[in-house]
């Protein structure tokens, strides 16, 4: 009986990858791969009145920023509020709230008027409510940080993360990053979905 063709015996082995680099990643993996600069924000989070809100649509990178900050601050409390559900506010300093637009009005009142620095990931701009609560507010539109250079590095970092060994792996070119940016704008999640399908059908190592 002829030997099995080992080239395709393991998923993505023919690409020198352990799995599709554009599938779901764990929180720890997403944190490790976060290409965001949060140094200045970390410093300002010593101020109990400070709030930074990351505003953007779903898939634009709000959670990535929050996870990057949480990884740097052991005392931080983090919560993601699922759609259609309520979630308790965690203890910690600072408090990081992902999908903050889902806070109840009572939770908004309690949290915004507390003396704890806050990091919000939100679709809604809370600047007015926060200022009325005596907060010092910084607003960051996450889509403005998704330029072609950062996108190019981010996508290739995911590929490198799942490589099997030191051999060649597929690569995303700057040209591909530019095309994705034009098609999807700042919607990184949409880009990942498209690239997932591309890698599902990629038969050989290539620059894309």
Per-residue pLDDT reduced to its tens digit, 7-36: 456 789 999 999 999 988 887 787 777 767
In three-state secondary structure terms, 122 is: strand
pLDDT of residue 59: 65
* Length in residues, the chain: 208
114 located within any domain: yes
Convert the pLDDT of each residue in 33-86 to its tens digit.
Answer: 776 778 899 999 999 999 999 998 776 678 888 988 988 898 999 999 999 999
Domain that holds residue 64: 45-144
Residue 144: the pLDDT is 66
Residues 110 and 176 both lie in one domain: no
Mean of pLDDT over the chain: 88
Name the strands in the sheet holding 77-80, side by side, starting at the edge strand that comes first in the sequence: 77-80, 95-98, 118-122, 50-55, 136-141
Are 27 and 70 members of one domain?
no
Whether omega for the bond prior to residue 94 falls within 30 degrees of 0, making it cis, is yes
Say whether both 140 and 49 belong to one domain. yes
| Structural domain ending residue among the three candidates 127, 144, 161 | 144
Q: Is 110 a domain residue?
A: yes
Q: Residue 9 has what pLDDT?
A: 63
Q: Examine the pLDDT at 171 and tell me if it is beyond 60.
A: yes
Q: Is residue 7 part of a domain?
A: no
Mean pLDDT on 90-118: 96
CB-CB contact of 55 with 197 (8 Å): no
Residues 195 and 113 in one domain: no
Predicted confidence band of residue 187 (pLDDT cuts 50, 70, 90) = confident
Closest CA to 161 of 66, 8, 35: 35
Same domain, yes or no: 156 and 191 = yes
Q: At 61, which CATH number?
A: 3.40.50.300
Residue 143: CB atoms within 10 A of its CB come to: 15
60 and 138 belong to one structural domain: yes
Q: How many domains does the chain have?
A: 2
């Amino acid at each position: 009986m002829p030997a099995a063709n080992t080239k395709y015996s393991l998923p993505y082995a023919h690409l020198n990858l352990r799995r599709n680099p554009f599938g779901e990643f764990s929180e720890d993996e997403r944190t490790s791969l976060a290409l965001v600069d949060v140094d200045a924000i970390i410093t300002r989070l010593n101020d109990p009145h400070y709030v930074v809100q990351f505003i953007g649509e779903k898939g634009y990178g709000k959670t990535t920023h929050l996870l990057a900050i949480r990884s740097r601050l052991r005392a931080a409390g983090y919560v993601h509020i699922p759609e259609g559900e309520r979630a308790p506010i965690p203890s910690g300093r600072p408090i990081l709230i992902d999908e903050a637009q889902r806070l109840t009005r009572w939770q908004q009142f309690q949290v915004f008027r507390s003396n704890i620095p806050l990091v919000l990931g939100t679709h809604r701009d809370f600047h007015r409510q926060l200022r009325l609560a005596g907060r010092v507010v910084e607003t960051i539109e996450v889509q403005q940080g998704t330029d072609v250079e950062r996108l190019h590095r981010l996508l290739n970092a995911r590929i490198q993360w799942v490589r099997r060994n030191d051999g060649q792996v597929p690569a995303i070119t700057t040209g591909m990053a530019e095309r994705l940016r034009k098609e999807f704008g700042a919607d990184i999640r949409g880009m990942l979905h498209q690239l997932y399908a591309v890698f599902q059908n990629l038969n050989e190592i290539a620059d894309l």
